[in-house]
Amino acid sequence: MLLRAMLALVGLAALAGVATIFLPAKEFLGRIAATLITSAFAIALALPASKKLDREETRPMGLAMLTAIVPCFVLVLASIWIGLVFGWRVELEVFFTAMHYAACAVVLLIALALSKAEATRVSGRLAVVAALVCFVIGLPALWAERLGFGTWDVQSKLWATSWLVFWTMVLAGMSLYAVTTRTTPWRWLGVLASAAALLIGLYGVWNELNDPPVWFVQAVVVALAIGLANVLHTLKLEGVQRYVALGTIGTVLLTAALASYLNFITEGFRGDVDENELVVRLIAAGSIVSVCGLLAITIFLAANRRALVTTSASVKEIRSVKVTCPRCATKTDAAVGRSRCGGCGLIFVLELAEPRCVKCEYNLLDLKGDRCPECGTPVAESLQVGA
């Protein structure tokens, strides 16, 4: 139903968009088109959330996603139509409020997901606090002048404060990644650097300092380097993947050292950077290699997760299956093999096996397509299964 509604809204948006070209009242029709497009986009975001509502273990996250989507949708709709009554400035303020809310909501959802796992519980909770603080401080930054309790100068300071708090707490969260599972004492250097960046930044913002931001930049560089190194060090990688992670850590630290050197000799990058062309080129090269290393590790993690899902669902590891008795509707954990319904005594005979390609024996567990990725045989033909 959501998919059909989304397609209908996209079609109506196209008609409204064409109408704005050939009919009068272009502004009104344009707002209608924007409303339809926004509605279709909101439904597209609601689709994965609605799927999570079907399973008990993912239902809280699905509700959180819908709770985040609905207010953002209402704010965007308000920004589209409120300009007809209060003018374009209020329209922009409502729109920026919607975007600020959306950015904080996305981070908050990711942080909630991270806070569930033991390795990321501390950093996830810190990210939750960062998103909430950023939203609470950033909201008056958008409306201070409008509501009469601040000037443009106060607004800019509040806005800078909100995102300064957010990013420094994110950097601290990177250094605290896996703090409950592995001990790396040097991670606390990144936490201290993040705290120093926050304090120096707040002091500079609210006192309007024009001094070279050498120590602020240095604290950010150290916090970022230690945070990335900590995350890469705590990832569970083996073999060649581990060497790639160690190499990436090395390039990150080397790039940070070069950036620190350039930071001090140019007084916070305010001096003539072109006089140090070789250092700039080395920093650029190190940054490129580091980013490529991070992308490769991301691919490794995705591949490892896919392999883990496939092997962990093997037949030998499954001992029971949650079933609902077709006779009395009693829910029970039926053991693989022969078992009995606890309600009416109906006997269950359960046999499980991995789906295998009928041609090449490729494991088809978790396959999303309709053909074997190894030989191209249609999955529908693979009726035979092997243990």
Kindly tell me if the per-residue pLDDT of 113 is higher than 70.
yes
pLDDT tens, residue by residue, 131-140: 888 888 888 8
Distance CA 225, CA 247 (A): 14
Amino acid at 277: E
Is the predicted pLDDT of residue 309 greater than 80, yes or no?
no
Listing DSSP states for 106-140 in one string gives HHHHHHHHHTTSSTTHHHHHHHHHHHHHHHHHHHH
Q: Which H/E stretch holds residue 57?
A: none
- What's the mean pLDDT when you consider all of the chain? 79
pLDDT (average), residues 181-202: 87
Of 18-22, 228-232, 243-247, 325-329, the poorest mean pLDDT is in: 18-22
The per-residue pLDDT for 216 is: 92
264 burial (CB, 10 Å; 0-12 / 13-18 / 19+) is middle
The predicted pLDDT at position 246 comes to 92
How many Cα atoms within 13 Å fall on the side-chain side of residue 246?
7
Looking at the predicted structure, is the pLDDT value of residue 146 above 90?
A: no
φ, ψ for residue 360 (rounded to 5)? Answer: -115, 0
Structural tokens at position 87: 């003018």
Q: Long-range CB contacts (< 8 A, 24+ apart) of 268-277?
A: 268/212, 268/213, 268/214, 268/216, 268/217, 269/217, 270/212
Write down the domain spans for the chain: 317-386
**DSSP annotation of 324:** E
Averaged pLDDT for residues 113-128? 82
9 has pLDDT over 70: no
Q: Would you say 115 and 162 are in contact if contact means Cβ atoms under 8 Å apart?
A: no
pLDDT at residue 254, as a whole number = 94
Please say if the pLDDT value at position 117 is more than 80. Answer: no
Check residue 323 and report its DSSP letter: E
Give the model's pLDDT for residue 24: 57
Local confidence band at 385 (pLDDT 50, 70, 90 cut-offs): very low
Please give the pLDDT value at position 28.
Answer: 67
pLDDT at 284 exceeding the cut of 60: yes
What is the spatial distance between Cα 134 and Cα 131, in angstroms, rounded to a whole number? 5
Query: Which residues face 332 on adjacent strands?
Result: 323
Q: What are phi and psi of 340, to 5 degrees?
A: -130, 140
**What percentage of the chain carries pLDDT values higher than 70?**
81
